[in-house]
Amino acid sequence: MNTKQILYNALTSQLEVKKSETEKYHNEIYTPSYETLGESIKEWFTSKINAKFEKFEFTGDKITLNVDKNSSWRNIDVVMRGWDPKNISVELDWNGESAKSTEPSTIDKGILIGTLATNFHLIENTYKNDWFPAYQNIVNAKKEYLKDYEDLDRALKNLNNEIWTDSVESMKQIGFTIKSFKPDVSLDWEYGNNSVRIYKIKTHNKAFNLQHGRSMYDTTYINGFKVLGKKGNKYSVEVYKDGCSTITYDNILEKKMDTFIFNVNNWENRDADANKLKAEKRYAEYTK
């Protein structure tokens, strides 16, 4: 295991700790603060301007009220536009509809709109000067708390890209050899007595398609390879096939080799282990 991989593993462990800490912060600090602010705003509408509603939602840049708690199309929204406190505006938005005396909920909606419109300047000023700044403080505090986690996550992704690139380049070096690719592991099943499914782990050798000539038909599936050399933009590669003698191809174009190595690297360093883990997990679930 090289130095970068050791560092990557160490950073991964650190990231898991940070992730747990951020989840705790979200659940124990951010969410309660956000919900408390929402409840205080809801109480303000009830006590300050005597608004009558059954549904209330606060999402930071929007307050939604409705006389019907189960309705979504009769919402009345108080919407905050912008993020800069110096350039924000507040709008009152609702669906246009007619009202009849036989539809009390529609009349109630009209009354609520009237209450909001009558007090709109007060709502606008309070939103701009109190509610939105309070929401910004909660969001900014979370962003600041997440900074270490995000920096570590970014560093981990960059290091992972470096490891991936190093691995790709190493597979192109003269002398690099894989006699047999990691096996392809999957879940399989067959019917037993009384038509009961019998599950089993199935393993077979992995093969990749290598284009060894200019024609799209100059291809072959192989189970392993060895880089013998490179001249100009052409590779010389010895290939291994199950049950066959080794074959050497001297005219593999660099572009075709790059595609082949890309697929092999993904399999050897990511997909093979992921497939195996998935198959074993499903097997355990179906046979417990």
Cβ-proximal residues to 163 (8 Å cutoff; 6+ apart), any chain: 4, 5, 8
Instruction: List the chain domain ranges.
Output: 3-158, 177-287
Q: Yes or no: say if 276 and 185 are a contact pair by the CB < 8 Å rule.
A: yes
Contact between residue 58 and residue 45 where contact means Cβ atoms under 8 Å apart: no
Q: Where are the alpha helices (DSSP H) in 49-188?
A: 104-118, 120-126, 132-171
Cα 53 to Cα 41: distance, rounded to the nearest angstrom:
13
Instruction: Report pLDDT digits (tens) over 138-182.
Output: 999 999 999 999 999 999 999 999 999 999 999 999 999 999 999
Q: Are 210 and 223 in contact (CB under 8 A)?
A: no
The tokens for 108 are 């109630």
Decide if pLDDT at 197 tops 60: yes
Q: 249 forms bridges with which residues in the sheet?
A: 237
Tell me the pLDDT band of 198, cut-offs 50, 70 and 90. Answer: very high
> pLDDT tens for residues 92-123?
888 766 555 556 667 888 899 999 999 999 99
Out of 40-49, 57-66, 76-85, 249-258, which region has the weakest mean confidence (pLDDT)? 76-85
Quickly count helices (H) and strands (E) in the chain. 7, 12
CB 25 within 8 A of CB 145: yes
The two structure tokens encoding residue 85: 């406190």
